[in-house]
Structure 1
Amino acid sequence: MHITSARIGRFRALCACLVFGLLLAACGSKEPAQRAAFIGFLQARVLDKPGLRVPAPTAEEKASFGDYAQHYAVIADFNEGMNKSVSQPMTQVMAKGALRSVADLAARRDDIQAAKQGLGGLRTALDQELAKADGARARLQQPDDLKAVYDKAYEKTVSAPAATFKEVFPALDGVFDGALALGDYIEKNKAKIQVSGTTLRVTDPAVQAELDRMLQALNGQSKAINAAQAKMQAMVRGS
């Protein structure tokens, strides 16, 4: 077989391309290092820290994660969204629906009703933020070693806070419902109830008994709120 110089040249060129391609593959595969950097960040900065921590990575750290920076964005975006659309507005709802005294329940009916309606909006907002985060997480493609660590971080920073926050809603609903019912009852029986400052004086024993029952139920709901808030604080602090 006669090998011409042209064929030799083409063969050398093909070999050169193959070698160059292999070198590119070897030099361009940054994924293992990026994955290791991301796993290390999740473990050291999120999982190993007590309580709820969602630290903002530095520009250098984000660069070291490569495409995995978008995986962390799912967690960070949820917490930012929950803070803006749920946690901060919750403070306003609680302030508006705060029970100052039994005596002014009837006068503040509109405030309490507005707080109850606002609570429904917060529940919807939390459901939307969680659904968005869960949907984004479901679309992530992760190697098994990263998935194991990421799943724990997601549970700690997304799933658990959302579930704990949701425990407050039924208790708050109960308090607002009980307060509205109590205010309506006082208004309905105002001829038998004398209001003096923050004190109620009742002339009808049957009315007094019903007021006592309603107040006990309201106090029970308040204890449920305190228990849910204590659980949330313990989760945030890690104690």
Structure 2
Amino acid sequence: MKSLFRPIFALALALPLLLAACGDKEPEQRAAFTQFLQTRIIDKPGVRVPQLTAEEKKSFGDYATHYAVITDFNSGMDASVKPLNSLMQKGGMRTLSDIVTRRDDLKTVQTALNDMGVALKEQQGKADAARAQLKQPDDLKAVYAKAYEKTVTLPADTFRSVLPQINATFDSSLKIADYVAQHQKEIQISGSMVQVSDPAVQKELNTMLQDLNTQARNVQQAHTRLQAVMLGR
């Protein structure tokens, strides 16, 4: 009768080798992901959210889904704020005549900016909720927190702080448009020329125009701050 000892013994020797070959890859995946976050996001100026290559996804393992929280938010944010430049152009007023005749454009831009702020808040809330569900070792958690702050929290908070400042400019413009409409007898507008027959009306209108100029400077400062965050300048 053939002995079963040799095949069983051979299997016993092979089993540890098989287990070793299928060992836990989490430490090296975590190390690869941590290095990526540090060198490709945290150490770079501005907001940088590169798309993963197939090789990178494979090297990160399940941690690729952790990065998806960041990329999904940025895709949503980009789509939400993309109309901002065109909205600013549409709402750009060079003269008092522009403010009066394009009042409806101002209201349309304000509505769009308010919708943009709501969308950003929802996207940030969704990203925060997804992040709260992630299970990460402490060493990765610390690095991920820095990357998340730089690519999600900071740009979202900055955009959301800028939008009310832009809206305040349009509020001032609408206030002027309404004032001119209420004092049509005293205020005559011809192109870029403005004549006011009542000194009291002229004084009040000048005060409102000065407030608008102040709001415009605030928007410029906010835009500079936004560029510093997004571009690292």
Pair in the same fold by TM > 0.5: yes
Q: Which residue of 2 aligns with 1:170?
A: 164
- The more displaced of 130-139 and 192-201 is 192-201
> 2:118 aligned with 1:115, yes or no?
no
Structure 1: 5+ residue runs without aligned partners?
1-7
Q: Which residue of 1 aligns with 2:228?
A: 234
Alignment of 1:24-35 (within 5 A): 24=19, 27-35=22-30
Q: Which residue of 1 aligns with 2:140?
A: 146
Alignment of 1:128-147 (within 5 A): 128-147=122-141
- The more displaced of 96-105 and 198-207 is 96-105
Alignment of 1:1-239 (within 5 A): 20=15, 23-24=18-19, 27-85=22-80, 87-239=81-233
How far off is 1:177 after superposition? 0.9
Count of aligned residue pairs for this structure pair:
230
Identical-residue share of aligned pairs (%): 51
With over 3 angstroms needed to count, the CA separation of the structure-2 counterparts of 1:139 and 1:97, relative to structure 1, is same
- Amino acid across the alignment from 1:142: Q
With over 3 angstroms needed to count, the CA separation of the structure-2 counterparts of 1:14 and 1:114, relative to structure 1, is farther
How far off is 1:90 after superposition? 1.7
| Cα pair 1:89 1:122 within 8 Å, conserved | no
Structure 2: 5+ residue runs without aligned partners?
none
How far off is 1:95 after superposition? 2.2
Which deviations, in whole Å up to 9, do the C-alpha atoms of 1:140-165 show, x marking residues without a partner?
01011111110000000000001111
Ranges of 4+ aligned residues in structure 1 off by more than 4 Å = 12-19
Tell me, in whole angstroms, the C-alpha distance in 2 between the residues paired with 1:92 and 1:101.
Answer: 19
- Amino acid across the alignment from 2:50: P
Give the TM-score normalised by the residue count of structure 2: 0.91
With over 3 angstroms needed to count, the CA separation of the structure-2 counterparts of 1:143 and 1:118, relative to structure 1, is same
| Cα pair 1:195 1:201 within 8 Å, conserved | yes
